[in-house]
Amino acid sequence: MGATISVAVLQAAFGEDIQANIATIDRLARDAAAAGAQVILPPELFQGPYFCKIQEEEHFALASPADEHPCVLTLAPLARELGVVIPVSIFEKDGPNYYNSVVMLDADGGVLGTYRKSHIPDGPGYQEKFYFRPGDTGFKVWNTAFGRIGVGICWDQWFPEAARVMTLQGAELLLYPTAIGSEPQDESLETSARWRRAMQGHAVSNVIPVAAANRVGDEDGQLFYGTSFICDHTGEVMVELDREETDFRLWSFDRVEVERDRAAWGFFRDRRTDLYSDYFKPA
């Protein structure tokens, strides 16, 4: 395991053809790996359009078991070929239950496990509670070929507890695949800046690099705003994409430097768990 980790975020628009969407991720991943990426993050639910804007029973047919999902079956050989880590976002079917999940592929193409989205939104344009159960896996951090990586999924990125738990579990890098854009109930509501600031705050408070990959494009009036980015452990945005680009961005960080800075800032040394516990007791 090297002293540095090189991470890339992918950004693209996605249509109805799942094979075309997978091919887009394949192409961008190859470009990112050729540029030196070791960890490659595609956006959330890249298998097709973001179907959760409305409640339609027909969309349940889009789900597959994690070990049979076309995105996993196609990208596992790619991860092995390129020698890269890829968190694959899928619509997962597990018996009668449905989840918004990530399957973590290691650099040998092997499956390290599945994380199921913990926080499920329910609002105009983002009616995910109709489709997904809250995750039952707990927050996950994986020992990959290039370091310990934690992954949250979209709505998870707004919750500081998720970032803190993954860092306490030993994460050296936090990844957030995302599908976020316009708010249909209020055309004047622009959330891209606060979306970033929330994750930059996680980076600052946990002294950890954070990467987020979003989609772009107009999907029946729902405009996804891209602006995928990677920030360092101080919260500084190091690389970013604009609101329309189909491309990748790459950044590398020094694992030893981040670990040293985290120790020096003392956020984990000074945590008062003896006080916090009183606030989380059942009413």
Q: Which of 52, 71, 93, 117 is the catalytic position?
A: 117
Instruction: Determine contact, residues 222/50, Cβ cutoff 8 Å.
Output: yes
Of 74, 99, 75, residue with least CA distance to 87: 75
Q: Which residues of 49-64 are buried (b: 16+ CB within 10 A; e: fewer)?
A: bbbbbeeeeebeebbb
| List of residues 6+ apart from 48 with CB closer than 8 A | 14, 15, 16, 17, 18, 21, 62
| Catalytic site includes residue 140 | no
- First-to-last C-alpha distance (Å) of the chain: 46
| 117 has catalytic annotation | yes
Catalytic one of 71, 128, 140, 154: 154
259 catalytic residue (yes or no)? no
Indicate the SS3 state at residue 19.
helix
User: Annotated active-site positions, please?
Assistant: 44, 117, 154
